[in-house]
Amino acid sequence: MADAVVEFLLDNLKQLLLYNSDLICGVKGQVDSLYKELSLMKAFLKDSKEKRSEYEYIRELVRQIRDVAYEAEDTIDTFVVNAAMQKERSTLSKIVHAFDYPAKLRSVAKDIESIKTKVKEIYDKKMFGIEALYAGESSNRFSSQRRKPMVEEDNVVGFDEEAKEIVSRLTNISESLEVVSVVGMGGLGKTTLAKKVYCNPTIEFRFFVRAWVYVSQEYNRKEVLFAILSSLMQPSDQTFKMNEEMLVQEICKQLNGRRYLIVLDDVWTTDAWDDLKMAFPNQDCGSRILLTSRNTDVAVLANPDSPPHHLRFLNDDESWELLSTKVFRRGSCPSELVELGRTIARKCYGLPLAIVVVAGLLLKKDKTRDLWKKVAESVSSYVARDPKQCLDVLALSYKHLPDHLKVCFIYFGAFPEDFPIPVWKLLMLWVAEGFIQQVGQDCLEDTAEEYLEDLVERNLILVAKKRSNGKIKTCRVHDMLRDLCLREAAEEKFLQVIKGHIHDANSQVSSGNYHRRLCVHSHVLNFIHSKPYGPHVRSFLCFPVEEKELSREHTSFIHEAFKLVRVLDMRSINISRFPVVITQLVHLRYVALFGNFKVLPPSISKLWSLQTLIVETTSRDLDIQVDIWKMSQFRNLRTSGSSRLHGPQAKTRMDNEDPFVQRNIQTISTVSPDSCTENVLARTPNLRKLGIRGKLVLLMEKNKGYSLFDNLAKLDKLEKLKLLNDTFPRPPSEGKLRGLPPLYTFPPHLKKLTFSDTLLDWKHMSTIGMLPNLEVLKLKVYAFKGPQWEPRAGEFRLLKVLQLGKSDLVHWMASAHHFPRLQHLVVEHCTNLLAIPHGLADVSALQTMELYHTPSAVDSARLIQQQKQMQQQQQQHVKSNGFKLLIYPPE
């Protein structure tokens, strides 16, 4: 981690020297010297990497380098804060006299000089073979071309008999409500087994109503009840306002008289079961609850008349099968590695999590006897059946991660247990934290996504949900791996998690605590009211389980407590008014806030390092007065409602030297139609995601032969576009669009397009169908209106995902020629639709079809399913994932 600390500091110093040198006048020479000295430290860290485990002296020296880098960072960042304040008061000339930071920098330089002497001694004594290290590194250096990691589904080994037994217990003849429990230690595969059972065709057929919820160690009753209810029905505004008892009543109402299966995954305490059991009515319908837990007493309490299923360890053959499957995919293990592989598998003592993680390590390394022998010799000392000891074998995989992935992996410790992490948020946080370094012309977010996919491929991160295009939407980290993250983070002073009732925040966040990131998981208002103080904190993230409101008198704590903060995520706290004090936090790169905001003040423009601004407001309209055109690092603007974005006030010609062109901006959502002017969009040439909400007539209607929509044609990099027609307070019918703009005005490389409430006639679908790169089309509520849709030949050549939302469509005529590459079809609330076109059965790429509240089309969907099954039986030699049909509510 010292490697990453020095790397981040060097990058920050470089940015400071290049772009904000006016703020360090008087100490620029010292900062420049510091940059050079730390560059030498970086070289030493690189050379010593392979020998740190052998020499305590080197490990201690690495820790000293890390600490002095932290000290240097604090000194310079504090100097910059005070310099910015002085600059604003026009007394910049007095900075050096007002603050004695040159002396502090000299002290840091003295410490570095001392470390340099120790480093020189190591090199002089040749304590480790530098030449050998360089030789080994050059031979193993990867090509600069990076491949996209392949993310595959989990391979389930050794659970076939267990799954049959659990399925049998869930489908027995008893009509009374029964609880079936699976018990075992962490990492043994309880969740994997439960998922295998949950997706079993027999279970899907027998239980029309199913729900899955993670309970976890950090249990919150209201949160779990809400998760259960959300699995049973679409939550409404009223649902969010329900208290616990109301949620219990609503769940009972939804389950009343229906045969259901509820999976309660990872229940830790008997209190949790006692809290939840009243939500599950017993009406002799043959309903079941599948419960997984580490604790036998929880299972016994849930069903004292039926013993829990104790999940066994894998035997040697199963362990080797799982290891070889993960490492070699569909290939076979070379004969010279089989014996060593079996040894490695055996020394994992049948613990699937340990096997999978070690397999992730072996997958990424050259498959040589020397490496496998080294792993086989070390595994036995790391793996034991004690979950705590298992952290050591997990750490074995962590220590073999490249530096850029180590820091990304440890960051998962910042999130609460079993927290579904939105990938878009995670990637933006990684970029803001400085974890993602620029590689050529690659987009930072794309690089970050590759890092995440790499961690998934290494079996360190779990995919919670995928997007319609197959990419990861939300992810999770296994609780044992999260424990590993927290252990390593504490050792490296990387982050601190605060949870539970806090009496004195200063006792947990003090000047002597060098943790750079502070994550509050509960009692966040109690923490804020205790007046915390974290002079070294660079990131402050809140994850309370329930929405909290922060009163006006406490909003100043942000600036008072964390003057050097770069990442500020308080989206889960309702702030009564916009905290203008954050404009004094000049190092901010990422801000996420929630409150009743109507204006984003222009003073935010002073945050020259800001990359991401996320504002969720209860107001329908938001006036963005921030001058993002002066913020060279700005990348993402995400707001709710209809936000008005202004172009630069200064009028300059549009060319490559326009000072207001922002080539870093990736995301703008959700802005009003009148914001889509040439003055705005022409200055965001690399924009990839755009969301527009408001009266779309203003966007598309022509005035003197020109419409605002024409400006979208210049967005060559735009891939995702949302068009949400919001005519409030007038009814949507008054904002009906007469048609769509010409094909040539659409962004040329558009891949995903979403419409809502546009009320277009189906004949205008021909324009969309001719978009050359369109892969995902989502038609939300009344995007199109009319009884009949018949696509034309040659349309939708690349479309993979089609979602039809609520509409009055009756007849849909289509064949495989119209959607030759369609993979996923979702139809929702099309109550008048008589049938799904039977011709879609001939689309060889079609994998899934989902129907929600579309009763008249069910029979046609089942006919398509039968034909797809017949086709698969006739082509058994062709590898296929099978066709899946989901119908809700079940018949």
DSSP 541-606: EE--SS-EEE-GGGTTHHHHH-TT-SEEEEEEEEESS--GGGGG-TT--EEEEEE--SEE-GGGGG
What is the residue type of 388? K
Q: Please tell me the number of Cα atoms within 13 Å of 77 on its side-chain side.
A: 25
Residue 761's pLDDT is: 95
Q: Is 167 in contact with 202 (CB distance < 8 Å)?
A: yes
d(CA 819, CA 775): 11
Mean pLDDT computed over every residue of the chain: 83
Residue 505 confidence (pLDDT) above 70:
no
Sheet-wide strand order for 288-293: 209-214, 260-265, 288-293, 178-183, 309-310
Angle in degrees, CA 77, 487, 498, rounded to 5: 65
Q: Is 558 in contact with 548 (CB distance < 8 Å)?
A: no
Beta carbons within 8 Å of 143's beta carbon, 6+ residues apart? none
Residue 285 confidence (pLDDT) above 60:
yes
Query: What SS3 class is residue 756?
Result: strand
Residue 759 confidence (pLDDT) above 90:
yes
Pick the most confident of 200-214, 512-526, 756-770.
756-770
For the record, the structure tokens of 211 come out as: 């729900």
pLDDT tens digits, one per residue of 87-112: 766 544 444 444 555 666 666 666 66
Residue spans of the domains in the chain: they are 2-140, 160-310, 316-489, 495-590
d(CA 595, CA 844): 48
- Of 170-184, 740-754, 761-775, the range with the lowest mean pLDDT is 170-184
Pick the most confident of 176-190, 455-469, 857-871.
857-871
Residue 629 is given by DSSP the state: G
In this prediction, residues 843-870 reach a mean pLDDT of 94
d(CA 410, CA 1): 10
Residue 40 confidence (pLDDT) above 80:
no
At 286, which helix (H) or strand (E)? Answer: none
d(CA 592, CA 571): 5
pLDDT bin (cut points 50, 70, 90) of residue 129 is: very low
pLDDT bin (cut points 50, 70, 90) of residue 120 is: low
Residue 41 confidence (pLDDT) above 50:
yes
At 93, which helix (H) or strand (E)? Answer: none
Instruction: State the residue for tokens 């202004």.
Output: 646
Residue 502's pLDDT is: 52
pLDDT bin (cut points 50, 70, 90) of residue 756 is: very high
Residue 313's pLDDT is: 82
Does 620 or 350 have the greater pLDDT score? Answer: 620
Instruction: State the residue for tokens 């043994």.
Output: 188
pLDDT bin (cut points 50, 70, 90) of residue 1 is: low
Q: Please tell me the number of Cα atoms within 13 Å of 773 on its side-chain side.
A: 13
d(CA 305, CA 178): 10
pLDDT tens digits, one per residue of 660-678: 889 999 999 999 999 999 9
Cα–chain-centroid distance for residue 312? 33
Percent helix, strand, coil in the chain, to 5, is: 45, 15, 40
Residue 412 is given by DSSP the state: G
Q: Which of 478, 469, 528, 477 is nearest to 502 (CA)?
A: 528
Residue 50's pLDDT is: 67
Residue 754's pLDDT is: 97
Residue 710 confidence (pLDDT) above 90:
yes
Q: Is 190 in contact with 163 (CB distance < 8 Å)?
A: no
pLDDT bin (cut points 50, 70, 90) of residue 233 is: confident
Q: Is 246 in contact with 273 (CB distance < 8 Å)?
A: no
d(CA 216, CA 267): 6
Does 348 or 710 have the greater pLDDT score? Answer: 710
Does 126 or 201 have the greater pLDDT score? Answer: 201
In this prediction, residues 690-698 reach a mean pLDDT of 95
d(CA 511, CA 517): 13
- Of 128-137, 198-207, 214-223, 299-308, the range with the lowest mean pLDDT is 128-137
pLDDT bin (cut points 50, 70, 90) of residue 380 is: low
For the record, the structure tokens of 862 come out as: 């089942």
pLDDT tens digits, one per residue of 563-577: 999 999 998 888 878
CATH of 160-310, one of 3.20.20.70, 3.90.650.10, 3.40.50.300, 1.10.510.10: 3.40.50.300
Q: Is 844 in contact with 822 (CB distance < 8 Å)?
A: no
Residue 105's pLDDT is: 60
Q: Which of 389, 357, 391 is nearest to 375 (CA)?
A: 357
- Of 23-27, 276-280, 708-712, the range with the lowest mean pLDDT is 23-27
Does 861 or 484 have the greater pLDDT score? Answer: 861
Residue 744 confidence (pLDDT) above 90:
yes
Task: Tell which phi-psi region holds residue 80, choosing left (phi > 0), alpha (psi between -120 and 50) or beta.
Answer: alpha
pLDDT tens digits, one per residue of 534-553: 888 999 999 876 667 887 77
